[in-house]
């Protein structure tokens, strides 16, 4: 059975969404990204992954896979009939990788990471201005599309959904991009997405209490 190390509402949420969408059973281990401890047994999370970051997917053979783009594509390929990624040889496979890279580099690392790690003492002014321009790209792309790639939900949608959810908590109102607001509404209406968010929000409340 696959095992996913995650932190509630971190980027690993997209991996949980993908697992549920694919109908793939997995064991979930909460890894505290601030203390670097695995909550299950209070072991050092860096023994699982020296990066100390989620997601970490432990494969059936015990190998460990990190980085959302890689983990999401692996989950999609575990159950290809779920259609969470275009098949190898399909040109859209590269579009999928393009969007996974965009969310990871241009949204997550360029804005969400500094927004949640650093105090807003003025140092976020440039990232905040940049994210407004960055979001115009998926906004235009989704103006006449239901999904990022092709005609169905893929792991790229799982990843962008997570990013858009966190943008709200980082002080960015996506209502200024109607196509993104409508897209997020559609994604949140999906049963797998609702289940994943509800599970992780409940965990966050438990951790905060």
The pLDDT of residue 116? 54
* Residue 32, domain extent: 2-84
Tokens of 111: 């804005």
The pLDDT of residue 179? 98
79-116: string of b/e by CB count within 10 Å (b at 16+)? eeebbbbbeeeeebbebbbebbebbbebbbebbbebbe
16 CB contacts (<8 Å, ≥6 apart)? 4, 6, 28, 196, 199, 200
* Residues 184, 122 share a domain: yes
For residue 127, which of 77, 62, 171 has the smallest C-alpha distance?
Answer: 171
pLDDT, averaged across the chain: 91
Which of 84, 102, 125 marks a domain boundary? 84
Domain count, the chain: 2
Range 57-64 average pLDDT? 97
- Which of these ranges, 3-17, 31-45, 98-112, has the smallest mean pLDDT? 98-112
Q: How far apart are CA 87 and CA 84, in angstroms?
A: 9
Residue 209 domain flag: no
* Residues 78, 147 share a domain: no
Cβ pair 103, 159 in contact under 8 A: yes
Q: Is it the case that residue 123 has pLDDT exceeding 90?
A: no
* Residues 68, 96 share a domain: no
* Residues 51, 7 share a domain: yes
Q: Is it the case that residue 75 has pLDDT exceeding 80?
A: yes
* Residues 96, 80 share a domain: no
Range 152-156 average pLDDT? 98
Residue 15 domain flag: yes
Domain of 56: which CATH number? 3.40.30.10
Q: Is it the case that residue 127 has pLDDT exceeding 80?
A: no
Residue 130 domain flag: yes
* Residues 156, 180 share a domain: yes
Range 52-66 average pLDDT? 97
The pLDDT of residue 170? 74
* Residues 135, 106 share a domain: yes
* Residues 69, 43 share a domain: yes
- Which of these ranges, 51-55, 73-77, 127-131, 143-147, has the smallest mean pLDDT? 127-131
Domain of 183: which CATH number? 1.20.1050.10
174 CB contacts (<8 Å, ≥6 apart)? 135, 164, 167, 168, 180, 181, 184
DSSP reduced 3-state for 158: helix
* Residues 131, 80 share a domain: no
Which of 84, 101, 120 marks a domain boundary? 84
Residue 48 domain flag: yes
**Segment 85-122, tens digit of pLDDT:** 999 999 999 999 999 999 998 887 766 665 555 555 55
* Residues 126, 58 share a domain: no
Tally the residues of the chain: 209
């Amino acid at each position: 059975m696959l095992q996913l190390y995650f932190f509630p509402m971190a980027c690993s949420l997209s991996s949980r969404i993908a697992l549920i969408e694919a109908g793939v059973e997995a064991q979930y281990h909460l890894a505290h990204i601030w203390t670097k401890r695995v909550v299950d047994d209070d072991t050092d999370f860096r023994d699982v992954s020296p990066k100390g970051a989620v997601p970490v997917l432990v494969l059936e053979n015990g190998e460990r896979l990190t980085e959302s783009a890689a983990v999401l594509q692996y989950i999609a390929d575990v159950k290809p009939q779920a259609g969470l990624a275009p098949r190898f040889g399909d040109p859209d496979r590269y579009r999928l990788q393009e969007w996974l890279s965009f969310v990871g580099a241009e949204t997550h690392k360029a804005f969400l990471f500094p927004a949640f790690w650093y105090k807003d003492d003025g140092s976020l002014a440039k990232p905040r201005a940049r994210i407004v321009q960055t979001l115009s790209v998926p906004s235009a792309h989704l103006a006449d599309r239901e999904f990022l790639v092709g005609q169905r939900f893929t792991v790229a949608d799982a990843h962008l959904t997570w990013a858009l959810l966190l943008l709200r908590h980082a002080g960015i109102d996506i209502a200024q991009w109607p196509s993104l607001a409508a897209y997020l509404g559609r994604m949140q209406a999906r049963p797998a997405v609702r289940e994943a968010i509800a599970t992780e929000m409940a965990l966050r409340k438990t951790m905060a209490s």
